[in-house]
Amino acid sequence: MKDTAGSQLFELMAGFWKTQAVYLATESGIVDAIAAAGRAPTIDLSIETRTDADALGRLLLFLESLGVVDGDEASGWALTEVGELLRTDTRDSMRDHVRIYGSHFYPAWGALSHSLRTGRSAFAHVYGSDLFSYLHQNPEVSLTYERAMVAGTPFFAEVSGAYDFSGARRIVDVAGGHGALLNEILNANQGPHAVLFDAPHVIEETRDRPIATDHADRCERVAGNFFESVPSDGDVYLLSRILHCFDDEACHRILTNCRRAMAPGGRLVILERVLTRGTGSSLTQGYNMHMLVVLGGGRERDETQYRTLLDKAGFTVESLHGLPLETHLMIAAPS
């Protein structure tokens, strides 16, 4: 029993080994080099990526133990199904997700003690500004962040199956980023028109995204501040992974602005992780900590907390639907 507990503790303590190994395999071009070759020996990969052959060999052995690559020194190395997700050239790549977690979020978690002492963002402590201000000041990081947010959303394709948008007249995606969710919804539903609403620098980044190029005749892109107002007269308002970024007071402002702007009979469609216990998974609990470390005021909430939050803003939860990666779709109507 002690050996089992000790091994488990070692695995927990070695978490940062795995984070940086996967991040460097992605960032240094090792994954793409393997993908281009199909299967390649260490020495060839070392030359291609300008890395030390012995060090790279050790990294590949570690990645093999993590299920990222498969092979050995004799047969060469190939990508596993997990490794394929790290490629640059695939549609479902999670490369940017790995990049933002292994670079900018990693030092923030190294300052977890700041959040624990103060209840405030360790990211802001490390980088000198809150996350969204930092992204505004660093366009390259902002693009990586937006792509990372999309990479972590395989459930987008299932949203139209969980809620019927076919009868919607005007869908407003509040803080919709680069429009990936809205693009999926418009692809699946030919009737509705839409508004993609986000901060000015984010809307500027969408000019060559599918939501702008494929749906220019059906989607208006509008810049603004959701704490001040949101576009009016929508009969469906989307909030995808927005509320968990803020404390209850800030969420109340966003929700009341949506309530005020909503057309009669409208609906609010919310995508969030919902805190539960006893599921055997730490993903949502981990994100609850991540919101503290990166955003300070952000948090994941349980179903009761969401119902209370929505009730205070004039909404009633009608239904809750489970989606992949412990995400839930909440449908709320004006009270």
Residue 267 backbone dihedrals phi, psi, to 5 degrees: -135, 150
Residue 267: its H or E element: strand 267-273
The average pLDDT across 139-161 equals: 82
| pLDDT for 2 | 60
The average pLDDT across 56-60 equals: 97
| pLDDT for 156 | 82
Is the distance from CB of 88 to CB of 33 less than 8 angstroms? no
The average pLDDT across 252-261 equals: 98
Mean residue pLDDT of the chain comes to: 93
| pLDDT for 3 | 73
Q: Label residue 296 by pLDDT band (50, 70, 90).
A: very high
Identified catalytic residue from 104, 178, 244, 328: 244
Q: Label residue 280 by pLDDT band (50, 70, 90).
A: low
DSSP label of 262:
P
Is the distance from CB of 42 to CB of 56 less than 8 angstroms? yes
The average pLDDT across 237-244 equals: 96
Q: What is the pTM of this model?
A: 0.87
Helix/strand/coil for 114 = helix
| pLDDT for 320 | 94
pLDDT at 230 over 60: yes
| pLDDT for 239 | 97
Nearest of 133, 243, 237 to residue 192 by alpha carbon: 237
| pLDDT for 172 | 98
pLDDT at 325 over 70: yes
| pLDDT for 326 | 82
Is the distance from CB of 335 to CB of 166 less than 8 angstroms? no
| pLDDT for 279 | 66
Of 7-21, 176-190, 271-285, give the lowest mean pLDDT range.
Answer: 271-285
The average pLDDT across 117-144 equals: 94
* Chain centroid offset of residue 231 CA: 24
For residue 244, indicate whether it is catalytic.
yes
List Cβ neighbours of 92 (8 Å cut-off, separation of 6 or more).
85, 154
The average pLDDT across 303-326 equals: 93
Residue 225: its H or E element: none
| pLDDT for 263 | 95
Is the distance from CB of 31 to CB of 86 less than 8 angstroms? yes
Structure tokens at 71: 């092979």
- The rounded distance, in Å, linking the Cα atoms of 175 and 294 is 18
List b or e across 240-267, with b for residues whose CB sees 16 or more CB atoms inside 10 angstroms. bbbbbbbeeeebeebbebbbebbeeebb
